[in-house]
A and B are shown apart, each in its own frame.
Chain A
Amino acid sequence: MDPSSHLEPNATGTGNINSFNPINSHNNITNITYVDEKAKILNWLSPLQPRTRHNDVRGRRQDGLGEWFLQADEFLRWRDGKGESRKTTLFCSGNPGVGKTFLR
């Protein structure tokens, strides 16, 4: 098949003109209001900030830590939902300081 047959018939470069018209600038204002509203809703859902903590953990992580864990059959079976008795929970047990939090 001729590859050019996949091209959209109207791909002439004129389709983008709309992005400069006044309707779109109005949309931008709506978007700002929406973003603000979304932030309010997120804050209402919870004051906790797990992503901030996650970024901190990521920054202090030692590369390659616990690689054996992430290659273990138990982990892979849990991840892929396989195995005879499908386990929904993987419990990583260990005392503080052994590196559980810093698993990649």
Chain B
Amino acid sequence: MIDRLLEDFEGEDAAVACIYCDFYDHETQTSANMVGALTKQLVNSLSIVPAEIQEAFGRAEHKVGGRGLRLAEAVKLLGSVLAPVKRTFICIDAIDECSDKHLPQLLDSLHTVSQMFQGIRFFITGRPHIRSAVEKYLPGSIQVIPFSPSGEDIREYLEMRLKHDLDSEEMNPALKADIMERISERIPDVYVMSNSIS
């Protein structure tokens, strides 16, 4: 999605930033760090760090021992880098893997910045159950598309896995055709299973 958007808007006044939520990284993935990560990506693509961010950094640095960014300030700084950009796409992968403690704050922050600027859009992926939480914090603005791989996706995925199969001497065209046919027939179950054993 990110690369697609970058290509679609190449040379235009548009920016893309992302967060990948991860069950195993709850300690670092605080709402302030996630919002900060969006700002970080947007700043990184600029040739000059905006004055407001330089100043905030200067103030934090002078505190005893320095200090990390707090959520309220992180949201404010994100707003300052979003302001001059016509369109910004924020992609959040696996939002259901975000900790319960930080999810409401993250969504609330997104809502805050979306109210500030017209040109912001969110692409969020997650298990179906998380939809209600996303709708609660970003009310009235959600288009849901259930994602499932197409038959063609499945066949290509199988082709790739079979090509990289380490026991390839066991493989022959008839066996391959059999695998392709049987698995493609039972697409949804098998796709999840093949992922969980990989």
- B194 CB to nearest chain A CB (Å): 8
Question: How many interface residues does chain A have, given as a range?
Answer: 35 or more
Complex Cα spacing A14 to B189, Å: 69
Residues of B within 8 A of A (CB): 1-5, 8, 17-20, 28-29, 32-37, 39-41, 43-44, 49, 53-54, 57, 60-61, 66, 68-69, 74, 77, 87, 93-94, 114, 119-128, 131, 134, 138, 140-150, 152-153, 156-157, 160, 191-192, 194-196
| CB-based contact A93/B145 at 8 Å | yes
Known: A66-B149, A101-B93. 8 other contacts (CB 8 A): A37-B49, A41-B57, A45-B40, A48-B28, A69-B147, A78-B123, A89-B138, A98-B149
Which residues from chain B contact A40 at a C-beta distance below 8 Å? 57
Contact flag A90-B143 (CB < 8 Å), given A41-B43, A47-B28, A99-B149:
yes
Is A50 a contact partner of B134 (Cβ separation < 8 A)? no
On whether the beta carbons of B143 and A78 are closer than 8 Å, the reply is yes
Contact across chains for B160 and A62 when beta carbons are under 8 A apart:
yes
Chain A residue nearest to B95 (CB atoms) is A91
Which residues of B lie under 8 Å from residue A45 when comparing CB positions? 36-37, 39-40, 43, 53, 69, 74, 77
Contact A95 B18 (CB under 8 A): no
Residues of A within 8 A of B74 (CB): 45
A71 CB, nearest partner CB in chain B, Å: 11
Closest Cβ of chain B: how far from A43's Cβ, in Å? 8
A59 to B47, CA, bound (A): 27
A-B residue pairs in contact (CB < 8 Å), sample of 25: A38-B43, A41-B53, A42-B40, A44-B68, A45-B39, A46-B37, A47-B28, A48-B37, A57-B20, A65-B149, A65-B156, A66-B153, A68-B150, A69-B145, A70-B1, A74-B145, A81-B121, A89-B124, A89-B134, A90-B124, A90-B143, A93-B146, A94-B128, A98-B195, A99-B147
Q: How far is the CB of A3 from chain B (nearest CB, A)?
A: 24
Q: Would you call A74 and B33 a contact (CB within 8 A)? A: no
Measured CB to CB, the closest approach of chain A to B11, in angstroms, equals: 16
Cα distance, A94 to B192, chains bound together (Å): 11
Do residues B124 and A92 form an inter-chain contact, with CB atoms below 8 A?
yes
Q: Interface residues, chain A, CB within 8 Å of chain B? A: 37-38, 40-42, 44-51, 53-54, 57-58, 62-70, 72, 74-75, 77-79, 81, 85, 87-101, 103-104
* Contact A95 B192, beta carbon cutoff 8 Å: yes
A51 to chain B, nearest CB (A): 7
Say how far A23's CB is from chain B's closest CB, in angstroms: 20
Q: Is the CB of B144 within 8 A of A88?
A: no
Q: Are B37 and A91 in contact, CB atoms less than 8 angstroms apart?
A: no
B-side contacts of A95, CB under 8 Å: 127-128, 192
